[in-house]
């Protein structure tokens, strides 16, 4: 773990020990427990406090923290923050529909994503300042976030009680865009844009969404104000922020942002940028998904539920032993797909290949696959053929990559064998090695 | 909750893997994975490799199989196992005929039968017969991966104290930086020159000027070509040396032994070996070594 990431934990431990032990000593201990013994962070903190004569419980007593000090392990977190963005989301808890809110908190030290799991005591809006007591923090994608649960309390504060977070706007290549970023300056070409009307708490709103690209990659954008964006235009947006929508990070900006148009030759033409977005799987994991990404990787596993499958006519779920999980015995409708694991040596992700692309891989269509399975009296034959064609095969796969608690998933809309000039690549590497 | 991430499959040459003596044990309840840490700082839970299957053996019974296979790359040999908990892999291994090119996905493990011996192996998750082309592609991938670790390790060796943070600042993944730090603490400094030349040799292997007899799945048998006396002698010598060199016998050792017994030139020896290879009597399980095919 990086030293700067350890710093807030060192503060926690020193505080729990009432300053009886120096931060240097705590740091040495922590490095040893984590670095040398590989003990997990929570256990290491507890054990160190105990070892150095403190009460581990005091690690969890209520502490008011600044956002930059939040580690993701806090159990009784107190926080004064400004709401930089807030959105509503419908989820299902134990089969019951529930409304939750999520967004980004900010103070003078930084910003952090939050989720409010209970109904709001009073409506909250962007720009409001709140005092949160008894919240807890966890991490998602290695980044801390704040949860306001049923034990928590929230009170409104006067506007001047939370200093504004004034970070200088930062320039950012599109490939480096990550969830939770704010105050970004992004230069890109508009690959597509369309106007949508969406329902929000405050009634109908206009939303202009599309895809923005530079040489490094592509990102979905949402403009909550009509900047008269046009397809193929090169623009620079100052003051945008990033949040995840349906598992894909999205670059959002509103009337607080400034949009400047640039000369056309500032960026390569549209058809070149369409092909940008080549990413390694570790980049995708750090970023938390991407729109229209291109991944070079090897298929190293094909999961059950691949090949010739049958779907419930009512809910589209995959039917097992001619029974749907929800609708019982049904006449399943045949379909083809691949559910596999792609690995590029930097990371791994689940890939879903649609019927059209699966037919392309097989070289025949669904009807023929059905015929083949009937002839051999074995549905598994199609999965076998797919394994034969795809496993160990270097592939170039295009599609949207979503990110949730179960990891990364690439919904492929194009799958091609990767062509490599082995000799050329080997010579290039050899030249680098021999320098 | 933090995201469940599937462990990456490392492209790793056998030599680096087999020189590993360090492991980090995971905990199944906490779902923390185990790793083998290589001398160059790869923290390996899973490996993807493509090489030559040189031997298969069932150490169990037909009902309760425990297959062990040897799979070679240009630098050394992986031991691959598949038992009753890997039924698919075990069945595939039982049906494969060495020598053949195979791709293997497996979980890394270290076994210490006694205080001095450290044995590394892969528990096979998936194995498949593949083309020679895919093996060459794998060598490229493994070379790229090795080069990155060598460069990171050299950066680390320049530091007074290895710092994960500094390595990340230099552009290395946090996982690799972590592994480098652990490796630097555990291993006395690895011989970088050996690894650099291993990398160079492996890349040469992919080039056309590296003389490699094209693999023919079915050895030509129609015309029984008789081996010459010299070729007979080479085969005899190899048979004698075989017991001590299960992984293949060093090319130079065979040549020295043969030249001791018969007054021949180096090029005569080379010519004879080339013939033996094209007749399918010997093959090259790893760079610079030979093995008989029976």
Which residues in A lie closer than 8 A to residue B140 (C-beta atoms)?
420, 422, 425-426, 429
Which residues in B lie closer than 8 A to residue A2 (C-beta atoms)?
164-165, 168, 174
Which residues in A lie closer than 8 A to residue B169 (C-beta atoms)?
none
Beta strands in A344-393 (DSSP E): 348-353
Task: Specify whether domain B229-292 bears CATH 1.10.10.1100.
Answer: no
**pLDDT for the residue B221:** 44
| Complex confidence, ipTM | 0.72
Nearest CA in chain B to A393: B134
Mean pLDDT of A228-250: 89
**CATH code for the structural domain at A67-161:** 2.40.50.140
Nearest in space to A85 (alpha carbons), one of A228, A252, A221, A222: A252
Mean pLDDT of A47-75: 81
Nearest in space to A274 (alpha carbons), one of A113, A72, A414: A414
In the predicted structure, residue B224 carries a pLDDT above the cut 60: no
Q: Is A252 helix (H, G, I), strand (E, B) or coil?
A: strand
Categorize the per-residue pLDDT at B219 as very low, low, confident or very high, splitting at 50, 70 and 90.
very low
Q: Is the pTM of this model over 0.95?
A: no
Categorize the per-residue pLDDT at A428 as very low, low, confident or very high, splitting at 50, 70 and 90.
very high
DSSP B3-50: PP-PPPEE---HHHHHT--EEE--BTTTTBPPEEEPTT--EESEEEEE
**pLDDT for the residue B210:** 75
Nearest CA in chain B to A349: B6
Q: With an 8 Å Cβ cutoff, are B147 and A433 in contact?
A: yes
Q: Is A401 helix (H, G, I), strand (E, B) or coil?
A: strand
Q: With an 8 Å Cβ cutoff, are B136 and A346 in contact?
A: no
**CATH code for the structural domain at A281-417:** 2.40.50.140
Give me the torsion for CA of A159, A163, A164, A167, rounded to 10°: 180
Categorize the per-residue pLDDT at A158 as very low, low, confident or very high, splitting at 50, 70 and 90.
confident
**In chain A, where are the structural domains located?**
3-59, 67-161, 170-274, 281-417
Nearest CA in chain A to B203: A426
Q: With an 8 Å Cβ cutoff, are B144 and A38 in contact?
A: no
Beta-bridged to residue A33, according to DSSP, are none
Alpha helices in B58-131 (DSSP H): 87-95
Q: What is the pLDDT of residues A183-201, one digit of tens each?
A: 899 999 999 999 999 887 7
Categorize the per-residue pLDDT at A361 as very low, low, confident or very high, splitting at 50, 70 and 90.
very high
Q: What is the pLDDT of residues B93-146, one digit of tens each?
A: 999 998 999 999 999 999 988 888 889 999 999 999 999 999 999 999 999 999
Q: Which of A325-329, A426-430, B101-105 has the lowest mean pLDDT?
A: A325-329
**In chain B, where are the structural domains located?**
9-130, 138-206, 229-292
**Domains A67-161 and A281-417 are alike in CATH topology:** yes
**How far lies B78's CA from each of A44, A222, B187, B213, B289, in Å?**
36, 51, 21, 23, 15
Beta-bridged to residue A113, according to DSSP, are A104
Which member of B134, B168, B203 has the closest CB to residue A430? B203
Which member of B5, B50, B207 has the closest CB to residue A426? B207
Q: Which CATH architecture has domain B9-130?
A: Beta Barrel (2.40)
Distance CA A96, CA B26 (A): 37
Categorize the per-residue pLDDT at B214 as very low, low, confident or very high, splitting at 50, 70 and 90.
low
**pLDDT for the residue A406:** 81
Q: Who's near A287: CB < 8 A, 6+ residues apart?
A: A175, A176, A177, A178, A179, A249, A279
In the predicted structure, residue B216 carries a pLDDT above the cut 60: no
**How far lies B238's CA from each of A49, A280, B283, in Å?**
64, 46, 12
State which H helix or E strand residue B121 sits in: strand B119-129
Q: Does B143 touch chain A (CB under 8 A)?
A: yes
Strand A203-214 relative to strand A184-200, pairing: antiparallel
With b for 16 or more beta-carbon neighbours within 10 A and e for fewer, the B39-69 pattern comes to bbbbbbbbbbbbbbbbbbebeeeeeebebbb
**Across all residues in chain A, what is the average pLDDT?**
88
Which member of B2, B136, B200 has the closest CB to residue A139? B2
Which member of B3, B11, B200 has the closest CB to residue A430? B200
Residue bearing the bigger pLDDT, A43 or A237: A237
Residues in chain A: 435
Which residues in B lie closer than 8 A to residue A393 (C-beta atoms)?
134
In the predicted structure, residue B266 carries a pLDDT above the cut 50: yes
**pLDDT for the residue A253:** 93
Give the single-character DSSP code of B228.
P
Categorize the per-residue pLDDT at B14 as very low, low, confident or very high, splitting at 50, 70 and 90.
very high
Interfacial B residues in 186-225 facing A (CB < 8 Å): 196, 199-200, 203-204, 206-208
Q: With an 8 Å Cβ cutoff, are A391 and B126 in contact?
A: yes
Q: With an 8 Å Cβ cutoff, are B206 and A38 in contact?
A: no
For the domain made up of A170-274, the CATH class stated in words is mainly beta
């Amino acid at each position: 773990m990086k030293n700067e990431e350890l710093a807030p934990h060192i503060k926690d431990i020193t505080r729990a020990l009432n300053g009886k032990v120096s931060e240097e000593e705590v740091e040495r201990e922590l490095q040893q427990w984590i670095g040398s013994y590989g003990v997990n962070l929570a256990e290491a903190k507890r054990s160190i406090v105990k070892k150095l004569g403190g009460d581990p419980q005091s690690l969890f007593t209520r502490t008011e923290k600044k956002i930059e000090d939040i580690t993701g392990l806090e159990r009784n977190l107190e926080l004064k923050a400004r709401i930089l963005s807030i959105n509503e989301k419908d989820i299902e808890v134990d089969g019951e529909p529930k409304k939750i809110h999520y967004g980004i908190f900010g103070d003078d030290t930084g910003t952090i994503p939050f989720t409010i799991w209970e109904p709001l005591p009073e409506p909250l809006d962007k720009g409001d300042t709140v005092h949160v007591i008894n919240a807890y923090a966890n991490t998602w994608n290695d980044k801390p976030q704040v949860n306001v649960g049923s034990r928590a309390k929230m009170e409104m504060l006067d506007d001047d009680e939370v200093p504004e977070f004034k970070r200088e706007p930062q320039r950012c290549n599109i490939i480096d865009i990550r969830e939770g970023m704010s105050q970004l300056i992004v230069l890109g070409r508009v690959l597509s844009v369309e106007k949508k009307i969406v329902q929000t708490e405050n009634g109908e709103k206009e939303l202009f969404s599309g895809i923005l690209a530079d040489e490094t990659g592509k990102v979905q954008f949402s403009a909550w104000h009509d900047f008269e964006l046009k397809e193929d235009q090169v623009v620079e947006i100052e003051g945008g922020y990033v949040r995840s929508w349906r598992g894909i990070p999205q670059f959002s900006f509103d009337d607080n942002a400034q949009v400047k148009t640039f000369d056309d030759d500032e960026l390569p033409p549209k058809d070149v940028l369409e092909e940008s977005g080549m990413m390694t799987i570790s980049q995708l994991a750090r970023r938390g998904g991407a729109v229209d990404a291109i991944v070079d990787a090897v298929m190293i596993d094909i999961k059950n539920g691949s090949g010739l499958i049958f779907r419930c006519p009512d809910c589209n779920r995959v039917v097992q032993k001619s029974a749907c999980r929800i609708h019982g015995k049904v006449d399943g409708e045949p379909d083809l797909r691949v559910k596999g694991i792609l690995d590029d040596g930097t990371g791994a992700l689940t890939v879903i290949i649609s019927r059209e692309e699966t037919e392309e891989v097989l070289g025949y269509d669904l009807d023929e696959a059905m015929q083949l399975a009937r002839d051999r009296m074995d549905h598994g034959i199609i999965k076998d053929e797919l394994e034969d064609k795809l496993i160990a095969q270097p592939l170039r796969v295009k599609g949207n990559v979503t990110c949730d608690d179960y990891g990364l998933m690439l919904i492929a809309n194009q799958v091609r064998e990767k062509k490599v000039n082995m000799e050329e690549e080997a010579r290039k590497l050899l030249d680098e090695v021999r320098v | 909750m933090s995201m469940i991430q599937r462990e990456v499959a490392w492209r790793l040459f056998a030599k680096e893997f087999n020189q590993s003596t360090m492991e980090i044990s995971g905990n199944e309840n906490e779902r923390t994975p185990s790793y083998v840490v290589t001398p160059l700082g790869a923290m390996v839970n899973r490996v993807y490799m493509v090489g030559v299957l040189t031997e298969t053996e069932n150490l169990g019974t037909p009902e309760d199989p425990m297959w062990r296979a040897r799979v070679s790359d240009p630098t050394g040999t992986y031991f691959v196992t598949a038992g009753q908990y890997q039924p698919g892999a075990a069945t595939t291994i039982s049906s494969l005929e060495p020598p053949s090119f195979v791709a293997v996905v497996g979980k890394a493990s270290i076994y210490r039968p006694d205080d001095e011996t450290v044995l590394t192996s892969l528990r096979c998750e998936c194995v498949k017969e593949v083309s020679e082309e895919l093996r060459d592609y794998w060598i490229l991938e493994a070379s790229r991966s090795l080069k990155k670790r060598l460069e990171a390790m050299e950066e680390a060796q320049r530091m007074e104290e290895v710092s994960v943070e500094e390595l990340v600042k230099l552009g290395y993944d946090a996982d690799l930086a972590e592994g480098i730090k652990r490796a630097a603490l555990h291993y006395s400094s690895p011989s970088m020159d050996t690894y650099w030349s291993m990398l160079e040799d492996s890349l040469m292997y992919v080039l056309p000027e590296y003389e490699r007899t094209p693999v023919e799945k079915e050895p030509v048998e129609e015309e029984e070509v008789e081996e010459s006396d010299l070729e007979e002698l080479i085969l005899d010598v190899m048979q004698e040396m075989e017991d001590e060199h299960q992984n293949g016998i060093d090319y130079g050792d065979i040549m020295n032994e043969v030249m001791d017994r018969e007054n021949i030139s180096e090029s005569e020896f080379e010519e004879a070996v080339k013939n033996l290879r094209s007749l399918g009597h010997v093959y090259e399980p790893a760079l610079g070594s030979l093995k008989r095919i029976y």
